[in-house]
Amino acid sequence: MIRLCGKLPLLVILIVLLLSGCTTPAPMWRQEAQNVLDKARRDEGDKIFPAEFASIEELILKGEVLVKEEEIEDADKLFLLAWSKGSLLEKKLAAEKLRLKEEAQRRADAERLELERKRALEAEARRIALEKYEAAKAAQEAEARRIAEKNAEKARQPKERQLPAYHTVKRGESLPFIASQPEVYNDRNLWPLLYRANRDQISDPKHIWPGQVLRIPRNLSREDIVEARRYAQEKPLH
């Protein structure tokens, strides 16, 4: 019994050595390679750099095959190579994401500047249009005042009534209506005379605006009157 107890530690050591000799050692770079592959997948490396990602994945799969065949040393070489490629891919992904972020920022800045430029141009166009409108309105008002003052002065002078040379358009009036007035032509079919004499401010005879000061041609020839009536019949205003 004493001899058996003395040999027990040696027996345990032998068993441990036998068991360790039968155990297949684990590859050192297996988990590192898998970790770098998983991180590349989370960073969308399979989408951004699909060829590099597939190469790393293929190395790991080949390494797993060698592990099953107990070719641990060769498997670990593949895992180490996969880890090295994965580390490079990680750096490429970081650089690519930074590039994409900077590119997106440049596009956003360019779009913002373009929008500001368009707004500035629109504001300038509105300002110019307003200035032109106000200048035209002031000119028409000045012309209307001048005509009114001239007419008032003529009214104060005792002399024969003269036919007006101008007519200020009132709301609801048309060229035929103005031509039909006694102080104009007393004939609505002579509206083409007004249209031709005021082409500088009338682009469409169907549309005239209140406040417009129209010239009324006088000293008309017979040919002028005949031509005007013919034109009115060919292109009547409704």
Percent share of the chain, pLDDT over 90: 74
Facing residues of 36 across strands? none
What is the CB neighbour count within 10 angstroms for residue 71? 15
pLDDT at 98: 92
Top-level CATH class of 166-234? alpha beta
* Cα 163 to Cα 183: distance, rounded to the nearest angstrom: 6
Percent of the chain clearing pLDDT 70 (strictly above): 87
**Tokens 């779009």 belong to residue:** 111
What's the average model confidence in pLDDT over 160-179? Answer: 90
**pLDDT tier for residue 160 given thresholds of 50, 70 and 90:** low
Query: Sign of the C-alpha dihedral, residues 217, 222, 224, 227?
Result: positive
Tokens of 95: 């650089």
Q: How far apart are the C-alpha atoms of 184 and 180, rounded to whole Å? A: 7
Per-residue model confidence as pLDDT tens digits over 174-201: 999 999 999 999 999 999 999 999 999 9
